[in-house]
Amino acid sequence: MKRFFKIIGYLFGMFLILLLGSLIYLQFAFPNVPEPEDLNVTYSQERIERGAYLANHVTVCMDCHSTRDFSLFSGPPAPGTIGKGGDRFDHSMGFPGVFYAKNITPEGISDYTDGELYRVITTGVTNDNRPMFPLMPYLYYGKMDPEDIYSIIAYIRSLDPIAYEVPDSKADFPLNFILRTIPQEANPGKIPDKSDQVAYGSYLTNAAGCIECHTPADPQGQIIMEESFSGGREFANPDGSITRSSNITPDLTGIESWDETRFVRQFKQYQDSGYVLPKIQPGEFNSIMPWTMYSGMEEEDLKAIFAYLRTIRPYSKEVVKFTPASE
């Protein structure tokens, strides 16, 4: 019996040594991405305007990096908070830790070079070599044309500085170690010619990260690729209610019956001068989809996204968009 316990003790000790060695390896070998480039972005007015269009209406960086007013439908950014950060994502929303959107005004990124900004946007690795939780969709931004990323950098450099200290994000164990393996080297592409509407729409759909919200996720938060764009991803609200994303595949349960005009109108209605965002009372349905931001997308770009969505695999799934906390 003593020998048995001795063997168990040896095995347990070996396991602890292997575990400790693995954690040390993860800590020092990852994230495994190249060093930042020696990059100097030209902050031309044209580039700033392109960046403003992308950050506010396509990649919608300001969706998370501002304070959203969820007392109104779709939670538009509150005036005076653009780029300030501080949006919190925690356990009450189903996240494995507590994560904050950073201050990306010049006040918050003053210690970043342009090369470091490019790297954090496209790989998720900060200037002090920390990995970011992929709530920040860097895996999609890493596929974008570098010129578009440069424009976003020029734009956020032009924002009004806001002095606001954002707490550090903290992932739960063991995600805090696993997280280090997620960042990967950027694989940038080029903006397709707009005459190739489907390819151009695919580029914009990636930049907007549509697949991330409109695809269900497994318990670890990884999207289920076999159900891409089929909707049903759950977003837990602080009051216990649940909002789910829509099926946007070309199926009858999705957008198969939609035409281009209806798709564009769905977004552009929020730009109508006569439209007033409804007030939302606690416990009522609200959409996390930033409609007011996407409504500023150019019609040509919305049409390209629709053309692309018509080419993806249909997936039959009825989605219950909202479950109140009482159910």
* Chain segment 207-239, per-residue pLDDT in tens: 999 999 999 988 767 789 999 999 999 988 777
pLDDT of residue 23: 47
pTM over 0.85: yes
Query: β-strand 234-236 against 88-89: which pairing, if any?
Result: unpaired
Q: What confidence score (pLDDT) does residue 176 get?
A: 80
Mean pLDDT by 10 residues, the chain (327 residues): 57 54 52 86 96 98 93 93 90 83 96 97 94 90 98 97 93 82 92 97 97 87 90 85 94 97 96 89 89 97 98 96 83
Whether 77 contacts 293, CB under 8 Å? yes
- Gap between the Cα atoms of 119 and 127, Å rounded: 8
The DSSP code sequence of 73-115 is TT-PBPTT-TT----EE-GGGT-SEEEE----STTTSTT--HH
Average pLDDT of the residues of the chain:
89
Exposed, middle or buried, 235 (CB in 10 Å: 0-12/13-18/19+)?
A: middle
- Encode 244-270 in three state secondary structure: ECCCCCCCCCCCCCCCHHHHHHHHHHH
